[in-house]
Structure 1
Amino acid sequence: MQKVDIGEGKVDIQSSKVDIESLIAVKATDFSEKTISHIYKMYDKFGFDMIFGRTAVGELLGLQNSSASKLLAKLLRAEIIEPVSGHGKGKYRFSRRW
């Protein structure tokens, strides 16, 4: 029987957390603590690769549609999120371009 070597490499599960913290430090300097908290919750749920819209953000954060729209607009202006085409109107993902 052959042993499986699982000790060779360590998985870095902190790198994405560092990425979002750096992004917030650079882009969200004038955001309130509540907005920053919302960004962390959104990132924990969606990450860099998942696509989301107003409804998903509202459900996740317990916001009305208008408040979710305002939050998305603020994040879009700060280039924290970017629009995604080909998935319907009003779809976004976290931007890696910073």
Structure 2
Amino acid sequence: METFLRNLLLNEKNELHSRNLHISGLLNEGKVDIQDRKVDIENEKVDIESVLSEKGSAFSVKTTVHIHRLFEEFGFDEVFGRSAVMKLLELKGSGASKLLSNLVQAEIIEPVFGYGKGKYKFKR
């Protein structure tokens, strides 16, 4: 599904094969022990999905894809600005500024001081 949306919204040219879309075999396998993985998850960065669901924002699919790409690139600890957003998402200046403004208003990102004007990072 993600690959399809990336093709649709970001004009990527990923190949889509029906054999990759089947999930029936996964349901027949035995239970997976996730106890060990829980520790890893707690020590790793929080997934952006939890941040998005916590904020309750109703972003469009395209904006959600942009948020995911930004988070994959910068995570919670990296600082980024408008030019980095423009380059990563291939947006023009006004589009990047509007996206950043919407994310600040939704409290998904926050301004960071000491790195120059117009720098942001994801809120935890």
Tell me which interval the TM-score lies in, with the shorter structure as reference length: 0.7 to 0.9
Residue in structure 1 matched with residue 91 of structure 2 by the alignment:
63
| 8 Å Cα contact 2:112/2:121 also seen in 1 | yes
Unaligned runs of 5+ in 2: 1-35
Unaligned runs of 5+ in 1: 1-8
Please report how far the alpha carbon of residue 13 of structure 1 lies from its aligned counterpart in structure 2 after TM superposition.
5.8
Q: Which has the higher helix share?
A: 2
Counterpart pick for 1:50 among 55, 78, 98: 78
Residue in structure 2 matched with residue 3 of structure 1 by the alignment:
none
Counterpart pick for 1:27 among 46, 55, 59: 55
1:90 aligns with 2:118: yes
Q: Percent of aligned pairs with the same residue?
A: 56
Count of residue pairs brought into register by the alignment = 87
Q: What CA deviation, in whole Å up to 9, does each residue of 1:29-85 have, x standing for no partner?
A: 311010010000000000000000000001000000110000000000000000000
TM-score where L is the length of structure 1: 0.80
Runs of 4+ more than 3 Å apart: none
Please report how far the alpha carbon of residue 27 of structure 1 lies from its aligned counterpart in structure 2 after TM superposition.
1.8
Separation of aligned partners in 2, 1:33 and 1:47: 20
Separation of aligned partners in 2, 1:13 and 1:65: 36
| 8 Å Cα contact 2:57/2:106 also seen in 1 | no
- Cα distance 1:34–1:28, how it changes in 2: closer, same or farther (>3 A)? farther
CA RMSD of aligned residues (A): 2.0
Alignment-mate amino acid for residue 20 of structure 1: I
